[in-house]
Structure 1
Amino acid sequence: MVDLLGDSLDRALEGAFTRRVPQSAQAQMKYLVKQLKGTRSAAQVLGISQRTVERYVSGKLKRPRQDLRGRLEREVKKRWQPQIRAKARKKAASTDGLVVSTRARFGFEAADGTTDDARIRDITQALPPEYADKLFTAREQGQNEDQLRQIAADGLARMYFRANNSRAHGLGVEFTDVERLDIEL
């Protein structure tokens, strides 16, 4: 399965963390209980019973099932170091931008009489801060993967295919069949 653009954005922000995320199930559960202010809310977020959460916190249970382990890690990472995450997001959205590295099928919508068949391309391209801001804002607002991919396609069209809008004016880019997608801050 190919990583989603939203997941790649989350991973890029995780790269800014200054401390390791808790590793053991007990430490992760304790952190989640503290963040959510109780075992009941932690149980609801994870889709397990309150008693199960209490058993992990006390250390009676140590090794969660694989599906629970994944949900637990995801929920802890989502809440880990929010100020560091916000600072990295702000820096990318205001000064640094981000780098998109992808292998995907790119096709074009161009003026009448010109065509360019879609083909698989490997592209690594820095996008300006405005696209970082658009992507992070769309992710926070719960936009779907297609909408995020369209923002990335617009950025790649401007910076890679139109050379920062200095040529190929009016060229629209289709970004499909993503095989690989990584984002770095």
Structure 2
Amino acid sequence: MEATESEWQPQVRAQAREQASASGGMMVRVVAHFGFTASRSFDDGRVRHVTTAISPTYAKQIFQLQDAGATGEDLYPIVAKAITESYLTDWGSQCDGLVAHFTDVQSIDFEF
């Protein structure tokens, strides 16, 4: 008997989520207002289009929040931390102490 899409699709999605959480991470695309604080300075901020890979640690936290029924707004703080780590500080190798302020989200998409 052939498996139908309704039977295999959830399994494929679960496997992809597991891989993203364990080792692969995922991509996030965001259009939002970003401002920054770092070492006694503050950037006034502006709308930015950011596409970046985020670590499996953050992917796992995002999935856990989604599974618990979190809204998009509930995800913003963790996504801001993930973007700060991967995109803004180049995985912690630059701009020590930088914090991204992430508001007025126009769109956010995850790809794994």
Q: What count of residue pairs does the alignment treat as equivalent?
A: 109
Counterpart CA distance in 1 for 2:81 and 2:26 is 14
Query: CA-atom RMSD, angstroms?
Result: 2.0
TM-score (norm 1): 0.54
For residue 89 of structure 1, the aligned residue among 17, 29, 32 is 17
Matches of residues 167-178 of structure 1 in structure 2 within 5 Å? 167-178=94-105
| Partner SS for 1:152 | helix
2:80 and 2:72 map into 1 onto residues whose CA distance is: 12
| Partner SS state of residue 36, structure 2 | strand
Alignment of structure 1 residues 92-103 onto 2, 5 Å? 92-103=20-31
Task: Give the structure with higher Rg (CA).
Answer: 1
Counting aligned pairs with the same residue, the percent is 38
TM-score (norm 2): 0.85
Specify every segment of 5 or more residues in structure 1 that has no aligned partner in the other structure, as ranges. 1-17, 22-78
Higher helix share: 1
Q: Which has the higher contact order (CA 8 A, sep 6+)?
A: 2
Gaps of 5+ in 2: none
Counterpart code for 1:156: I
Measured after TM superposition, the shift of residue 80 of structure 1 is 7.5
More strand by proportion, 1 or 2? 2
* Match runs of 1:4-23 below 5 Å: 19=5
* Cα deviation 1:97-154 (Å, max 9, x = unaligned): 1101121110113232x12111011111011111110100111122333331111110
Q: Segments of 4+ in structure 1 off by > 4 A?
A: none
